[in-house]
Structure 1
Amino acid sequence: MYIMHNPSRYFLIIICIIAVTTLVCGCCGLFPQEEKPALTRAQTIPADVVKMGPETDDFAPIVHSYKWEKPVPLEGPINTAGAEDSPFITSDGNTFYFFFTPDVRVPVEKQIIDGVTGVYVSKKVNGAWTEPERFFLNGDLSMDGCICLQGDTMWFASVRTGNYGQVDVYTARNENGKWVDWTNAGEQLNKQYDIGEFHVTPDGNTIYFGWSANGTDTGSIWEGNRDIYKSEKVNGVWSQPVSLGPNVNSQYMDDQPFISADGNELWFTGQSRLGYTGPAVFRSVKMQNGEWGPAEEIVSNFAGEPTLDAAGNIYFIHHYYKDGNMIEADVYVARKK
């Protein structure tokens, strides 16, 4: 997710929130977000932004396992010429959450006030995805993303005033189809551990996340030495983070974990270990002793942030690069054979 990648921007974002709240509060909190004039995603994508696709892609995603079909852009209205990111699909494969921003060239502190950057949801109806709709997890300015839905509880990351750190973990509760009771997940996760991108198991008692134990994490997904850790909630207290070990973690960056619905597969983003360009999607299968088995590189070439439905279809983000510059990002899917 874009807001998680550059710590130098976190401070600017928080300043922006405070400044805009103070100077133009008529736009950001004196009335509910739902009452604001709505902008469509298409309306805010600049005319000079080029829509990319497999036919113009210098680094098309490659799948290395015979168990999945060739990755393709997700069908329907979810992908645009802007940047789709930070995906989450429900186990039944019928509800898709993601983060969107119209122009990757725009600084994050400006994205937060562009009226369209944020989290969206699309539902599959009669086999087709509906037009994504933006939804809000705050009545004031915030930059939200990294959705993880477990039952009626949504976990998400947010940059907003009142945080313990730069990007905090929050929860929300579903009430009659609306997400309410936005609540900070607490000082332990957000200040003491200051965890990175995460996934929570269905029972809500285990959280997997990217983390730098020695404090050398730069905040960039591909700089520093972030590894994947887990923490268990016991009697309301999160345990000291434990590394998933050398079967999962490498000498490179490993982050953005996802646990399959049955709890037996760990999927994550890491630097390619097969010599391909950029990040790749990895899979580790839980062994009989409960430990995670050796990680296997499944999808390469600027592939990351995997999320799976119960059928085993892999949904991930693919970033398009041209001449060393990121152009946009789309949701791709590699369907299980």
Structure 2
Amino acid sequence: MKLLYQLILLLIFSPLTTLAQNTTPKNLGTAINTSYDETKPIISPDGKTLFFARQNYPENFAGTKDAQDIYMSQMLNNSWQPARNIGEPLNDKHPNGVSSVSTDGHSMLVINGYDEYGDVLDGASISRKKGNLWGYPEMIYIQEFYNLNEYIDYYIANDERSMLLAIEQENSYGDQDLYVSFKIDEYNWSKPVNLGPQINSSSPEFSPFLAADNKTLFFASYGHGGYGNSDIYYSKRLDDSWQKWSKPENLGAEVNSSEFEAYYTIDASGEDAFFVTTKGSVGGSKDIYTMTLPYKFRPDPVLLLSGEVVYSINGAKMEAEVVFTNINDYKQNESIVSDVETGFSHILAKGFTYQYMAVKKGYIGLLQYQDLSNMNEYKELKETLQLIPILKGSEIPVHHITFVNNADMFRPDAYFELDRFASLLQSYPKMQVEIIGHTQQLPLSSENERLSYNRAKAVGQYFENKGVHSDRLRIKGAGESIPFNDSIKPSIKTDIDYSDRITIKIISMDWEKPQPKDTDEDGIIDIEDDCPTLFGVAENNGCPEITEETKEVLKEALEGIEFELAKDVIREQSYPILDKVVEVMQENVDYKLKISGHTDDQGDDDANLILSHKRAQATKKYLMDKGIAILRLDAVGYGEMKPIESNDTAEGRAKNRRVEFEIVFD
């Protein structure tokens, strides 16, 4: 029984042992720390490069009289390498320090406003990396900026759209407060806004750090009832106003003491933290420590996406933009640069779905997707993004022109890609493409071929509706005959099969719009010509001109042809008028004549219809007897269906009893 009890205890407590964390801070050792002050550490998102400042060190730019230089160390084989001075142009005779580093490692925010003459001003600047060299810092500008304090800290968030500042202004709650400023463009930022009384106290708040989730804030404060001196605190941003925060929570005795603690920084995974303390340091100086971040203080998980952009034909690395869009609201568009040496790196927050692609003039990128709506742990992903040249023969597989299952109707999420390729065709008016449908959703190959053709046809029709000439579009259904076997598969939505896609194949880059045909060479194009094979005039919609004399003859025939009462016998006094009609037809061999018989509404409807038809036929027979070919004559009776006057009067009924003549053409 005792053995069983021990076994139960083992089963109960062993998982807790597995989940136990080593949260005891550890000095980074002599590779990083010296008897001089090391401060303001910044860890790169991938956790492999540590930047920090070293004060009054003999190897500083101006030796021990140099207040502060920037140093860096890299992690190799799970060990920090000896720190080295980062050198010029970032280090000079002035105090230098790193405030933040971009996710891709290509840019760095440093203290001081560097100007073009080599002098420094109050403020901050951005240095950009080319290859292994950091460029000369360029000053940023913050609207209505001023600082009443001798100290200042900055931190640009990983999304590079918000910047935290530790400054003192007239609306501060006491000494340094934390503020936020928002990016306007590459070098301009908005007026700082105080984060409010939940974060700021009557004592100094400084060293702000915003985790990769863009919500979790770590900062140092002499207020909030700490252990003594400055302590490090944790708070969570609760909405997009930047005014609502969870109550700041002290990181506890594992981190804070009665001595100085500040400058807390963590990598994108949220596991490893670095901070500065004087407790247990070399010679009472400030040293940098590391520890595993306790679960309760960890930020929301993120995806650290890195990779490279390559030329689709030979795999060569290329420099290009990588553009990200949060498709939950299509508002959060972010753009980063992927360079040839180091590629790109970017952080995507949980809770959203993102689309992204490489962008470069003269090339087409493949759209990628990442759904992080249900993400529950930190992830790292490396991807290769292809750029396909806009050249004859290029084939672009498009997986996100999506269709309703087993149908040729677009899904709502298809229109981004439809519009992107419609825009491409509009931008290249001489481009001619083949639109090829692929699918294997149906049981029979013949069914798949038909469905894929109809889908390709629907895409072509969408482009036509956007103004693309139909002659620029060739439609093909490949069904399941061409499997997708690209060695570099794009990241696509989880409910899409790689086999189901549209291929846009560029078949020409020198298409010329067909000239409109004018078969009869009358200056009126066939599509607008009612008589495209007969030379005509615009006044008659491209048909031959009908002279005023002919019109007068037809009018006379309309008004003057008479029949015996209730019969289809033409009265003799009408013969001279009909003979004039014969003469017109003989002189104009291209004319055809439509003869329409009509009655008033007196009598039986059916009888009227028969009578009108017989009168039209009698007129036709008269013309035929005079030598007009039957193929040039058409006779129709309409009865009382088409009155031209009211049947309520004798005069109106007389006008409705008539035979009409209309010149027509093939």
The one-character-per-residue Cα deviations of 1:16-59 (angstroms, maximum 9, x if unpaired) are: xxxxxxxxxxxxxxxxxxxxxxxxxxxxxxxxxxxxxxxxxxxx
Alpha-carbon distance, 1:234 to partner: 2.6
Q: Give structure 1 stretches of 5+ with no counterpart.
A: 1-65, 218-223
Alpha-carbon distance, 1:235 to partner: 4.9
Amino acid at match of 1:260: A
Residue in 1 that maps onto 2:101: 149
Alpha carbons of structure 1 residues 277 and 175: separation in structure 2 relative to 1, 3 Å: same
Residue in 1 that maps onto 2:48: 94
Residue in 2 that maps onto 1:32: none
Map residues 21-170 of structure 1 onto 2, 5 A cutoff: 69-75=23-29, 77-102=31-56, 113-114=62-63, 117-138=68-89, 140-150=92-102, 151=104, 152-158=106-112, 162-165=119-122, 168-170=123-125
Residue in 2 that maps onto 1:318: 277
2:52 touches 2:70 (CA, 8 Å); kept in 1?
Answer: yes
- SS at 1:181's partner residue? coil
Residue in 1 that maps onto 2:192: 241
Residue in 2 that maps onto 1:208: 164
Amino acid at match of 1:175: K
Alpha-carbon distance, 1:89 to partner: 0.4
Alpha-carbon distance, 1:281 to partner: 0.6
Map residues 269-284 of structure 1 onto 2, 5 A cutoff: 269-284=220-235
Alignment pair present for 1:304 and 2:240: no
The one-character-per-residue Cα deviations of 1:170-225 (angstroms, maximum 9, x if unpaired) are: 11011111111321223x36x833492010012322110112121889xxxxxx61
1:137 touches 1:144 (CA, 8 Å); kept in 2?
Answer: no
Range moving further from structure 2, 170-179 or 307-316: 307-316
Between structures 1 and 2, the one with greater strand share: 1
The one-character-per-residue Cα deviations of 1:288-315 (angstroms, maximum 9, x if unpaired) are: 5663221111132211011111232221
Counterpart CA distance in 2 for 1:70 and 1:274 is 23
The one-character-per-residue Cα deviations of 1:123-175 (angstroms, maximum 9, x if unpaired) are: 0011111111111242853321033100311101038763343xx20110111
2:38 touches 2:53 (CA, 8 Å); kept in 1?
Answer: yes
Alpha carbons of structure 1 residues 133 and 321: separation in structure 2 relative to 1, 3 Å: closer
1:318 touches 1:331 (CA, 8 Å); kept in 2?
Answer: yes
2:73 touches 2:81 (CA, 8 Å); kept in 1?
Answer: yes
The one-character-per-residue Cα deviations of 1:50-98 (angstroms, maximum 9, x if unpaired) are: xxxxxxxxxxxxxxxx977122212461112221111100111110001
Alignment pair present for 1:226 and 2:176: yes
1:258 touches 1:266 (CA, 8 Å); kept in 2?
Answer: yes
Alpha-carbon distance, 1:226 to partner: 1.1
1:229 touches 1:242 (CA, 8 Å); kept in 2?
Answer: yes
Between structures 1 and 2, the one with greater helix share: 2
Alpha carbons of structure 1 residues 126 and 293: separation in structure 2 relative to 1, 3 Å: same
Alpha carbons of structure 1 residues 211 and 67: separation in structure 2 relative to 1, 3 Å: farther
Counterpart CA distance in 2 for 1:235 and 1:321 is 44
2:113 touches 2:124 (CA, 8 Å); kept in 1?
Answer: no
Q: Pick the aligned partner of 1:184 from 139, 158, 161.
A: 139
State the Cα RMSD in Å: 3.2
Counterpart CA distance in 2 for 1:68 and 1:196 is 33
Q: Pick the aligned partner of 2:286 from 294, 319, 329.
A: 329
TM-score of the aligned structures, taking structure 2 as reference length:
0.35
1:231 touches 1:241 (CA, 8 Å); kept in 2?
Answer: yes
Q: Give structure 2 stretches of 5+ with no counterpart.
A: 1-19, 295-666
Alpha-carbon distance, 1:227 to partner: 0.5
1:157 touches 1:170 (CA, 8 Å); kept in 2?
Answer: yes
Between 1 and 2, higher relative CO (CA 8 Å, sep ≥ 6) is seen in: 1
- Structure with greater Cα Rg: 2
Amino acid at match of 1:128: S
Alpha-carbon distance, 1:321 to partner: 9.2
Residue in 2 that maps onto 1:56: none
TM-score of the aligned structures, taking structure 1 as reference length:
0.67
Counterpart CA distance in 1 for 2:110 and 2:170 is 25
The one-character-per-residue Cα deviations of 1:220-239 (angstroms, maximum 9, x if unpaired) are: xxxx6111000112356422
